[in-house]
Chain A
Amino acid sequence: MKANARKTQKGKGKQVKSAKRMARSSKPSVRKAIIPEDMFGSINVPEDRAVPFGAITPAPVRQQELFITSNWRIVRPVIDHEKCTRCFTCYIACPDSCWSFNEKTEKMEWNWKFCKGCQICINDCPADALKAVPELDFEDGVVRLEKPF
């Protein structure tokens, strides 16, 4: 509305101006762009938050250190090695392959980096060797993290 009001006030001056602009438009190289290219600015992702192109990463590796995904876990499975029969049910049941067998210690090992706390292993364990313990009970519990990894 403002622009229109101005137009009625000094309509004549506007006409002259637009004629000038028309004359200039025949030389696009000198005319100033109405919306300059830099109007969109630029986006700078800080280095500590950068993610690889398309999140594509080298493989195969046992675990992607770049994409640790256990920070929403609220309970973790804790193993009683005395009760454990090394039947490998947990190894088979875990959707994130978080259970493995350490041949040196001859014990099952749990991977804290990718366990989501789904408790499938706890439910499936035939020897009752696993129990769910809240993350809050651990000093390094993921629920205590200020920043996700």
Chain B
Amino acid sequence: MAQEKLLSGCAAAAQGAKFAEVEVICSYPIRPYTAIMMELAKLVANGELDAEFLHGEGEHAQVSVVLGASAAGARAYTGSSGVGVTYAFEVYSPAAGGRYPLQMAIADRTLDPPGDFGSEHTDAMSARDQGWLMGWAATPQEVFDNTLINYRVGEDSRVMLPQFVCQDGYFLSHIPDKVILPDMSQVKEFLPPYNAPHPLSPLCPVSHGPQIRPDQGAPMDAQRAITFLEVPKVIKEAVSDFNRIFGRRQDPFIETYKMEDAQYAFFIQGAHSNTCKNAINALRKQGMKVGMVRPRWIRPWPTAQIAEALSKVKAVASVETSTSYGGAMRGGNLVHELRATLYDLPKRPMVTSFMAGLGGDVVLLDDFYYMAKILQKMVKENKTRKLVYWIGFEEEKEA
């Protein structure tokens, strides 16, 4: 029977892995993600989950272990945060190139220096171009759902790619919310057992990860690129099945909030979108027609869906929760892709970006009101005066 529980993002991720019946888990401690492994260790010790639980000697080892497990045909699970995510970096491209559909949970943590532990998306965002599926959840329920959906999409024979299932550290990973845990029979209907096409086995020996020549590198890149053209189709099918089996009404690619008549929009990912929705409710009471678009995937980037959703607004605020020092907009990462996405619109909206939620900062309601005022001013003056605003550090207090 399905049941409702109060779970933090980390506990929800662990439950997701449990319902996916992962077979190999590799842990190494770093907060905040580590609570996922604490929960999973308990589940394995209590006999609720039948899985090999290994301790890696570091994050590089963690991903290497699950890569090997996945190559042998196991459904494998690992995770990390912050500098742990970057320490494992070398293994990301081989995991995607070798087509191992393992899953890595990331609860964001600010990268050093020195020693900040608050939430910021830069850790995972720096790994976005390694050929993994990637997306941020906004609620513990979505963390649970994404764990299952990602395994389903990643293990699809048309995809066969690893997945980063990301959540904001603390804001999501450590704040409990209601999570509906489904019936196991529903999960079994949604997620078939993992069937590795060429598993490492003495019965049918194969070589994985050989040395290839430089002229074979481009075709290997093309393999992944071709796959990424197919992924949206698979996501659509998976989420449609998910909605049918679990009785949900999720959009496969983006979440939109009050966009029907919106003239202004926030573009934001992750758990700060919850504050954003409250801000929108307050702004709408004051008569400002504002909405929100939240991508559920960063890779593959939902280009068509984002363009469609923002095609009618006058101005968009890209709320950055990661850094791209010296980038085209001198701010965050999202705005680059957002502006590129909107470039071909017949009437493209004005776009500016706001650096917020960095280093563990909370994005306050007041911050969203400030952004809204900037948008209003931009439209009124018909001019994008600045490409990036650092929330809290702007001289221009009142827009």
Contact = CB atoms under 8 A, between A and B. Distances in A.
11 contacts: A39-B304, A43-B225, A49-B215, A49-B216, A53-B223, A55-B208, A56-B98, A66-B210, A67-B213, A147-B215, A148-B213
A69 B197 contact: no
Nearest to B347: A3
A34 B213 contact: no
A22 B99 CA distance: 43
B301 to A, nearest CB: 11
Contact of A51 (B208, B211, B219): B219
Contacts of B303: 35, 39
A102 to B, nearest CB: 25
A105 interface: no
A7 B382 CA distance: 11
Interface stretch (B46-54, B144-152, B169-177, B305-313): B305-313
Given A42-B226, A43-B225, 10 more contacts: A34-B344, A40-B229, A43-B222, A43-B229, A45-B219, A45-B226, A53-B223, A59-B207, A67-B212, A147-B215
Interface in B198-219: 198, 205-216, 218-219
B213 A55 contact: no
B206 A54 contact: no
Interface of A: 3-4, 7-8, 18, 21-22, 33-37, 39-40, 42-43, 45, 49-51, 53-60, 64, 66-69, 71, 147-149
A49 B219 contact: yes
Given A57-B207, A59-B206, A148-B213, A35 B307 contact: yes
Interface of B: 97-99, 160, 197-198, 205-216, 218-220, 222-223, 225-226, 229, 303-304, 307-308, 311-312, 341, 344-348, 382
A71 B206 contact: no
Nearest to A8: B382
B307 to A, nearest CB: 5
A59 B202 CA distance: 10
Contacts of B222: 43, 45
Nearest to B214: A148
A67 B208 contact: no
B158 to A, nearest CB: 12
Given A21-B312, A45-B219, A49-B219, A56 B229 contact: no
Nearest to B209: A55
A33 B99 contact: no
A76 B65 CA distance: 37
> Which residue, B197, B213, B348, has most C-beta atoms of chain A within 10 A?
B213
Given A34-B304, A67-B216, A54 B311 contact: no
User: Which A-B residue pairs are the 3 nearest by beta carbons?
Assistant: A54-B99, A59-B207, A35-B304
Contacts of B160: 53-54
Contacts of B210: 55, 57, 64, 66-67
A132 B272 CA distance: 64
B223 A56 contact: no
A112 to B, nearest CB: 15
B212 A34 contact: no
